[in-house]
Structure 1
């Protein structure tokens, strides 16, 4: 079976990942009041929290660029393509699992655009997890055939 993920789905996933990187500071500031919470930490812990925030933003952006511009390479049956696909799939599956397991315990502001935004972002996270997990399954299927 030689199934390929359609280019449109790749572009949507890549663009969505870049979008999550770009919107991330707005969500931290406007939705979660993150910066005021971080100010309550010791200075070193403030910097650690900010650094991890930048890592997340950088990974989302980088994964988007890889998805858009290297999608043909990702679909190849090479060890590197398998490893990168597994990394991105694990990242987004982990994000979805965290979202389901922990985030419902917290209150998102009840403004309508925040509620709609949370549904949209969750749909994007599911899309990313699905695309890369699907590609990983296709690679495993090819590998085991």
Structure 2
């Protein structure tokens, strides 16, 4: 039996990932006052923090583009499909695990918009983790002909 995830669902996930990349600077600046915190670091550490922020933004955007442009290839059960969906799965599952394990210790500003936004973003991250875990699992299952 050949299991498939509807392409529209993968594309929807891709749009969500691009959204997270585009909204990321706003969240850092408006919600977390990140730039002022980074200014307190030594210059090299400032650049490292900014670089990692750009990596995160770039990965989210790139994963979104891959999902939008190549939904069929993400579920064609090849070694490359397994590798890509496994990578993206690990990324989002790790993000959700980190969010659950560490972020509740910190206060997000109490504005209603930020509270609603945090639920929305956490739901998106969970959605991405589920979609890519599902894709990865189907690719492995079909590749091994189980």
TM-score, normalising length: structure 2: 0.97
8 Å CA contact 2:75, 2:138 repeated in 1: no
CA contact under 8 A between 2:7 and 2:72: conserved in structure 1? no
Report what 1:98 is aligned to: 98
Residue 19 (structure 2) pairs with residue 14 (structure 1): no
Runs of 5+ unmatched residues, structure 1: none
Please report the RMSD computed on the Cα atoms of aligned residues, expressed in angstroms: 0.7
User: Which residue does 2:140 correspond to in 1?
Assistant: 140
Q: Tell me the SS of whatever aligns to 2:138.
A: helix
Q: Deviations over 1:54-110 (max 9, x none)?
A: 000000000000011011111111111110010000000000000000000000011
What's the TM-score once normalised by structure 1's chain length?
0.98
2: distance between equivalents of 1:85 and 1:137?
Answer: 9
Aligned pairs (5 A) from 1:50-61: 50-61=50-61
**Divergent runs of 4+, >4 A:** none
Q: Does 1:42 align with 2:42?
A: yes
Structure 2 match to 1:111: 111
Q: Is this contact kept in 1: 2:77–2:138, CA < 8 A?
A: no
> Gapped runs of 5+ residues in structure 2?
none
Task: Give the match's secondary structure for 2:41.
Answer: coil
